[in-house]
Structures are given as structure tokens and as C-alpha cells.
């Protein structure tokens, strides 16, 4: 019991200790930090379209070459996800996020002085891309650990940070460019992103000591129970002990104090070791990155869903302003369309979190419905004409994007995919697999635009990827059901082979005491 007390009284500067998932507490501060991190990472990435035409004019480059800036950034961000997981498990989420914030800000500030598009590839693509990975993934992972029942709702609401960022940054940066130019505007954005470092300092690690709470024993334990355990482990009874043993309830009168001490000491220590291992937290050699999730068929299908769905995440927000300009819509109105998309995404994320928070609902099926409706939204863009046509499509797309983008990573913590125990490693592997689509998506859309001279082809490519993602998402639950059924069968076979452990009757002590008394009486009568 002393060890348990010491564990609970560890300083809160190193970790927050709970006996169960708090569903609140310091988790609300972590949720606020995640809100700001979302705004300064994905919010900036999605707002980068406001610099698109300026970069094309300044560097005299094509759509596809400018698209590589965000493409490399997204690729590095997702490709280095396992590195983020390893560093977080080794050094803690707080330090990793703070380092990521410094990288993000440094890359964006240096990019404001770039002279060629290749400089942008290195600064924003590689430096800031790595910083985005180190900032975002550890934050969403630790947030999932602070919540259980409210996880879907809290994560969805906190993830609206990027939506508010796009809503506010797009018109603000557009207005700022008119005053100081795109270079100083980009420099200002880089300085603002230092806020990620401050948010990282708020990410206290969380430790759940649930096992210790269960294993805690009352201060006084009956001697009969100790005798029962002693005799079960040594395969002896009281009858085999010298008749000089006094059976009392005195705490000092334990089997270790009897004449049979030499015989029972070794087995007693033998039996105590497992108890100590269970009552104290393991001295774990925990894996920094657990690739065993790749043997889970449901996770493989979910990873392929993320791979193809990523094609539809970034290209629409990147090309919505060029598409609106090609239809003769002015700069200010184009920025309003992007802002409306961001506001609709806020409501989509909140709605998805509210729906997924309902207990009777199978969350993976709700996600599938949202992905199908998102595919419809992508197909609708090429048929829009004029300001209001694009506005309606953007609002619809933003709402459906919010339902998917705010939940697809937290859903890894659900039992239908991998569960909360493997959430950290699964998130790293999942985002790593997404990197291929993040690298190929925007340039592929840019090549199609340059070839067809029509921005509609970019949205068609996104819709095709989203449809493929929906197919793999539909296979997640069937794969999980079949795998779990197979595992249960293996467990049943093992249990039937090993056989149940022998059970000790409740009256074991009484029977042995009775035997001892009877033998004593028999000797006296003789």
C-alpha cells in the first residue's frame, strides 16, 4: 500500500496521475492546446491557397510546380509520423510538440525570403512539414488519452481550430497582402506559429494507475486466508506442520514463523513474486513503435481508406480560389468562399462529434456514410457556376469534410479498428501510409489542370480517391469481426487444452483444522 501512495503522489509537473480516464480535468487544457495547434498547422496549410497566384507570378511557375510546395509539406508531415511516435514515446509529447513549433515557425519565416520555388520546397516543404508532424500527431494522441466517453465530441470540437483559422486567416492574409505584400505576410504567419511552442508546454503526460487501485488490499487480512494461500502454494496442509503450532489470529503468527519455516520459505517467496509484479507498474520495455498493428486486417483496410481519402482533403481548399478566379469571381469574393467552407466545416465537425458520442451507434458506419456524401460534394464542384453556385458547393463540401476530417484519426482508438492501447503506434503508421497520397494528390491535380486547362479535373481526381476510400472503409468492420472470431476460437482451444486451474474449496481450512484436532484426540486417547 505504501508503494501505491507514492505512485499517486508523484509530482504533477512530470505527469497527471489518475485512477481512471478523467474525461475532463487537465484534459480541457489539452483540448484548448489542440484547438490552437490545429489552427496554426492545418489551418495555415488550408489557407495557403491565398498565396497561390502570388507565387506563380513571382517565380513564373506553373500550377503543378507551385502545388509541390504543399505536396512536399503534406508528404513530409505524414511520412515522418512514425518518427513523431518514436520521439513522443521516448521524450514525451510536450517536448516533441515544442520542438515542432520551432521548426514550423522557422521554415515559414525563412520561406518569406525565398528566391526560387525550390527554396520553398526546402523551407515550407521539408522544415515546416516536419514541424507540422511533430506538432499535430502527439497533440491529438494525448488528447485521446484524457477522454473516454466524451472523446469523439471533445476531439471534434477541438479540431475546429483549423476551420476558424481558415475563416479568419484567408481574408486577413488577403487584406494584409494588399498592404505589405505576400512576403511580409508570410513572415507574419511564421511568427504567429510560434504559438505552437506555447501550446506544447501545456501537454502534461497522463498516467492511469487502474491496476494498483484494483490490487489494493485492506490493511488487515485474516490469517485463515493467508493459510489457504500458503497451503495452496506449498501443496501442504496444517496436518503436515508440527503439532506445536498455535492457530490464532495474531498477525505475528504466520506460517513463516513456524517450525516449518525452512520448508515453506522458498515456496512463499516464489508465490509472492507474481503478486509484486501485478501490484506495481511494469518496468516496461515498451516498444517505441509497435508495428504489430499491421497484422490487423481491419487496420489495414482503415489505412487504405486514409490513403485514398487523403486525395480529397487538401486539393479542394487549395484550388477553390483559382477555380473561382477562372469563373470571373473577384479576389475578395473568392476569399469569402473559402471562409464559408471553413465555417461549414466547423458545424460538420461538431455535428459528427455529437452523433458519434451516442452510445448505441456503430461509429465506423457513420464515418462511411459521411465519406460517401463527401464524394458527392466533390463531384458537384465542376457543375457549379457563378459565385452562389460555388458558395453552395463549398458550404456542402465544408460540412461533409468536417464530419470526416475531425474523426478519422480519433476513430483509431475505437475497438472496431485497433483500440486505445495501440492508438499511439497505430496513428503513426496510419499517417505514414497517408503520406503517399499527400505527396501525389496536389501535383496530380496540378498536372490534370495543366493538361486539360480546366480546374474541374482536379475535383474529379479527388472524388475518385474518396470513392476508393469508401470501399476500404466498408471492409473495416467485417475484417474486424472475422479476426476477433478467429482469435476467440484460438483462445477457446488453448483454454480447453490447458484445463481450468484447480479450485480450492471454501471449507479447506476448516477441514484441515478438523483433521488436526481429530488426530490430536486420537493420540490422546491412545
Pick from 47, 321, 42: which is nearest to 176 by CA?
A: 47
Torsion angle of the four alpha carbons 420, 424, 429, 434, in this order, in degrees rounded to the nearest 10: 90
Mean pLDDT on 404-415:
76
Instruction: Count Cβ atoms below 10 Å from residue 101 Cβ, excluding itself.
Output: 26
With 70 as the cut, is the pLDDT of residue 266 above it? no
Confidence of residue 213 (pLDDT cuts 50, 70, 90): very low
Comparison of pLDDT for 305 and 209, the residue scoring more: 305
Q: Report the pLDDT value the prediction gives residue 323, as an integer from 0 to 100.
A: 81
Q: Other CB atoms closer than 10 Å to residue 319's CB: what's the count?
A: 25
pLDDT confidence of residue 287: 62
Band (396; pLDDT cuts 50, 70, 90):
very high
- Look at residue 218 and tell me whether its pLDDT is greater than 60: no
Mean pLDDT, range 224-239, rounded to an integer: 46
The pLDDT of residue 493 is 56
Distance CA 315, CA 49 (A): 10
Q: How far is CA 432 from the centre of its chain?
A: 13
DSSP 106-126: HHHHHHTT-SSHHHHIIIIII
pLDDT at 459 over 50: yes
CA–CA–CA angle 254, 259, 264 (5° rounding) = 65
Average pLDDT over residues 249-269: 41
Mean pLDDT of the chain: 74
Domains defined for the chain, CATH in brackets: 17-211 (1.20.1250.20), 289-497 (1.20.1250.20)
pLDDT at 136: 87
User: Distance (Å, rounded) from C-alpha 144 to C-alpha 151?
Assistant: 6
Where is mean pLDDT largest: 13-22, 56-65, 208-217?
A: 56-65
Give the model's pLDDT for residue 352.
82
Contacts of 135 (CB under 8 A, 6+ apart): 37, 40, 41, 97, 100, 101, 104, 196, 200
Query: What is the C-alpha to C-alpha distance for residues 193 and 41, in angstroms, rounded to an integer?
Result: 8
What DSSP state is assigned to residue 252?
T
Rg (CA), the chain: 31
User: Tell me, what's the pLDDT at 126?
Assistant: 92
Sign of CA dihedral 196, 199, 204, 210: negative
Taking residues 70-80, what's their average pLDDT? 83
Which pLDDT band, with edges at 50, 70 and 90, does 100 fall under?
very high
Q: How far apart are the first and last CA of the chain?
A: 50
pLDDT of residue 70: 84
What kind and span of H or E run contains 207? strand 206-208
Structure-model confidence comparison of residues 133 and 210, the more confident one: 133
Report which of residues 229 and 94 the model is more confident about.
94
**Predicted local confidence at residue 490, as pLDDT:** 58
Structural contact between residues 401 and 314, judged by C-beta atoms closer than 8 angstroms: no
Q: Are 246 and 208 in contact (CB under 8 A)?
A: no
In this prediction, residues 290-308 reach a mean pLDDT of 80
Residue bearing the bigger pLDDT, 98 or 174: 98
Confidence band of 189 (pLDDT split at 50, 70, 90) = very high
Per-residue pLDDT at 55 exceeds 80: yes
- Where is mean pLDDT largest: 19-23, 354-358, 452-456? 452-456
Band the pLDDT of 502: cuts 50, 70, 90. Answer: low
Residue 314 CB-half CA count within 13 A? 34
- Give the burial string for 132-150 (b: 16+ CB within 10 Å, else e): bbbbbbbbbbbbbbbbeeb
pLDDT on residue 477: 82
Q: What is the mean pLDDT of residues 464-488?
A: 77
Most confident of 106-120, 406-420, 452-466, 480-494: 106-120
372 pLDDT higher than 70: yes
- pLDDT of residue 446 exceeding 50, the answer is yes
Amino acid at each position: 500500500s505504501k508503494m501505491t501512495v507514492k505512485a499517486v503522489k508523484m509530482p504533477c509537473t512530470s505527469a497527471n496521475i489518475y485512477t481512471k480516464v478523467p474525461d475532463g480535468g487537465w484534459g480541457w487544457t489539452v483540448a484548448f492546446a489542440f484547438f490552437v495547434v490545429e489552427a496554426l498547422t492545418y489551418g495555415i496549410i488550408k489557407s495557403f491557397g491565398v498565396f497561390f497566384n502570388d507565387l506563380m507570378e513571382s517565380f513564373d511557375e506553373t500550377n503543378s510546380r507551385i502545388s509541390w510546395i504543399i505536396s512536399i509539406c503534406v508528404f513530409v508531415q505524414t511520412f515522418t509520423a512514425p518518427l513523431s511516435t518514436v520521439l513522443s514515446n521516448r521524450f514525451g509529447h510536450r517536448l516533441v510538440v515544442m520542438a515542432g513549433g520551432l521548426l514550423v515557425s522557422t521554415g515559414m519565416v525563412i520561406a518569406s525570403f525565398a528566391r526560387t520555388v525550390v527554396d520553398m520546397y526546402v523551407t515550407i516543404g521539408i522544415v515546416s512539414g516536419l514541424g507540422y508532424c511533430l506538432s499535430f500527431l502527439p497533440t491529438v494522441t494525448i488528447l485521446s488519452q484524457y477522454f473516454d466517453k466524451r472523446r469523439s465530441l471533445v476531439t471534434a470540437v477541438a479540431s475546429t481550430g483549423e476551420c476558424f483559422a481558415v475563416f479568419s486567416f484567408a481574408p486577413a492574409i488577403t487584406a494584409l497582402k494588399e498592404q505589405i505584400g505576400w512576403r511580409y505576410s508570410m513572415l507574419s504567419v511564421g511568427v504567429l506559429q510560434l504559438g505552437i511552442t506555447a501550446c506544447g508546454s501545456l501537454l502534461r503526460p497522463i498516467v492511469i494507475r487502474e491496476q494498483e487501485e484494483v490490487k489494493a488490499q485492506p490493511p488487515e487480512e485474516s490469517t485463515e486466508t493467508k493459510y489457504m494461500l500458503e497451503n495452496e502454494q506449498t501443496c501442504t496442509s496444517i496436518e503436515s506442520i508440527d503439532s506445536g503450532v498455535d492457530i490464532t489470529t495474531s498477525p505475528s503468527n504466520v506460517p513463516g514463523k513456524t517450525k516449518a519455516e525452512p520448508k515453506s520459505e522458498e515456496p512463499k517467496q516464489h508465490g509472492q513474486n507474481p503478486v509484486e509484479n501485478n501490484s506495481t507498474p511494469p518496468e516496461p520495455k515498451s516498444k517505441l513503435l509497435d508495428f504489430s498493428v499491421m497484422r490487423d486486417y481491419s487496420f489495414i483496410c482503415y489505412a487504405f481508406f486514409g490513403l485514398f481519402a487523403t486525395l480529397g482533403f487538401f486539393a479542394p481548399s487549395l484550388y477553390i480560389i483559382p477555380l473561382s478566379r477562372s469563373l470571373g469571381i473577384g479576389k475578395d469574393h473568392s476569399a469569402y468562399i473559402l471562409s464559408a467552407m471553413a465555417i461549414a466545416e466547423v458545424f460538420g465537425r461538431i455535428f459528427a462529434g455529437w452523433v458519434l458520442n451516442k452510445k448505441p451507434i456503430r461509429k465506423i458506419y457513420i464515418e462511411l456514410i459521411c465519406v460517401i456524401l463527401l464524394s458527392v460534394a466533390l463531384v458537384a464542384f465542376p457543375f457549379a457556376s457563378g459565385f452562389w453556385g460555388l458558395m453552395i458547393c463549398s458550404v456542402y463540401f465544408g460540412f461533409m469534410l468536417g464530419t470526416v476530417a475531425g474523426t478519422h484519426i480519433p476513430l483509431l482508438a475505437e475497438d472496431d479498428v485497433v483500440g486505445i492501447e495501440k492508438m499511439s503506434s497505430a496513428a503513426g503508421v496510419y499517417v505514414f501510409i497517408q503520406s503517399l497520397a499527400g505527396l501525389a494528390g496536389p501535383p496530380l491535380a496540378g498536372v490534370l489542370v495543366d493538361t486539360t486547362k480546366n480546374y474541374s479535373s482536379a475535383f474529379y481526381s479527388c472524388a475518385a480517391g474518396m470513392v476508393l476510400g469508401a470501399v476500404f472503409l466498408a471492409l473495416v468492420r467485417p475484417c474486424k469481426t472475422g479476426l476477433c472470431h478467429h482469435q476467440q476460437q484460438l483462445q477457446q482451444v488453448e483454454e480447453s487444452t490447458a484445463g481450468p486451474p484447480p479450485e480450492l474449496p471454501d471449507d479447506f481450512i476448516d477441514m484441515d483444522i478438523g483433521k488436526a484436532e481429530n488426530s490430536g484426540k486420537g493420540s490422546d486417547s491412545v
